[in-house]
Amino acid sequence: MQAAVLPPLAGWLWVSQGWRIFMQQPLSMLTWAMLISFLLMISTLAAPVGPLIFICLMPAVTFVTLNLCRHITNGQKIMPSMWIQPLKVKGLFRKLLMIGGIYVVMCLFVGFLAFLPFIDELHEAMQTMADAQDIQPLIDAVQLPMMIFAGLYVVLAALFWYAPVLVGWHGTTTVQALFFSAVACWRNKWAFLVYGVIWIGLFFGVDLLSSLLVSLGLSLEMAATLQVPINITLGSVMYCSFYPSYVSVLSQHPNSEVIVQ
């Protein structure tokens, strides 16, 4: 499979095209995003097992999202019955769960690699926090391992970015999907850098705006309440932007409207 090589500007075009897809059926995609947020909230309450289950399900969620976006670009009205329809293909859900299982194991392994060298410092910080009732030493201690984890996670994410759709739409094996996904992301690393910076900037901007409103006298609870629908909307657009990323890099349909020229 041959992946296209796109200029850095493609990262911005994926975001803008995701917005156009979202605006075609905003209510449908908002509903889907709220369902994902609800599942995330439930999984968080069931920690530590819940988040692992949620991560395991993410390839299936991603594949459903791409199918919904494809329906939208084809002019079809999204109905709730379409949510699980893509997963009814024989053996597909099992393959997506397998990818999710590998994702969980590799996330844990990456976390182990990032935090293991700092285990003594973390233990001392936790002891200090317990003795002095001060969380700041722990916050300081986790900063460097979290930065290392974030760097390793970027590499990990490249393996799984296109894997669900490669298994679901292109019929590749799991190993092939992970390999092709990594190659496609590497060949478009500058576009993905722009793409990532834009989304980090947007979500950070919302947090900054919320903090500004609090500093101007708005209650913290009200600011958080106002921030929730904005974050869900941004999340919906981000989910929609996955599809133009796939189409422009890996799609075999060059007449698609969302391909980056």
For 48-94, what is each residue's pLDDT tens digit?
888 899 999 999 999 999 999 999 999 999 988 888 899 988 899 99
| Angle between the N-to-C axes of helices 119-132 and 136-160, in degrees from 0 to 180, rounded to the nearest 10 | 140
Mean pLDDT of 2-10: 90
Overall number of domains in the chain: 1
The dihedral formed by the CA atoms of 29, 94, 107 and 57, expressed in degrees to the nearest 10: 30
Q: Identify the DSSP state of 7.
A: -
| pLDDT at position 131 over 80 | no
In a domain, 260, yes or no: no
With CA atoms as reference, report the closest residue to 142 among 163, 160, 124.
124
The answer as to whether 34 is a domain residue is yes
* pLDDT tens per residue across span 9-49: 999 999 999 999 999 999 999 999 999 989 988 988 888 88
The Cα–Cα gap between 261 and 240 comes to: 19
Domain, as residue range, for 95: 9-250
In the block, residue with structure tokens 């099992």: 94
Closest CA to 60 of 176, 165, 173: 165
129 has a pLDDT exceeding 90: no
> In this structure, is residue 131 part of a structural domain?
yes
257 pLDDT higher than 50: no
Higher pLDDT, 207 or 127: 207
Residue 173, by phi and psi: left (phi above 0), alpha (psi -120 to 50) or beta? beta
- Of 13-17, 105-109, 138-142, 184-188, which range is least confident? 138-142
d(Cα 261, Cα 259) in Å, to the nearest integer?
6
33: in domain: yes
| Assigned domain for 257 exists | no
Of the pLDDT bands very low, low, confident and very high (cuts 50, 70, 90), residue 259 is very low
Report if residue 261 sits inside a domain: no
Structural domain includes residue 168:
yes
Instruction: Say how far apart CA 205 and CA 212 lie, in whole Å.
Output: 10
Residue 252: band (very low, low, confident or very high) from pLDDT cuts 50, 70, 90: low
pTM tops 0.85? yes
User: Mind listing the pLDDT tens digit for each residue in 177-222?
Assistant: 999 999 999 999 999 999 999 999 999 999 999 889 888 888 888 8
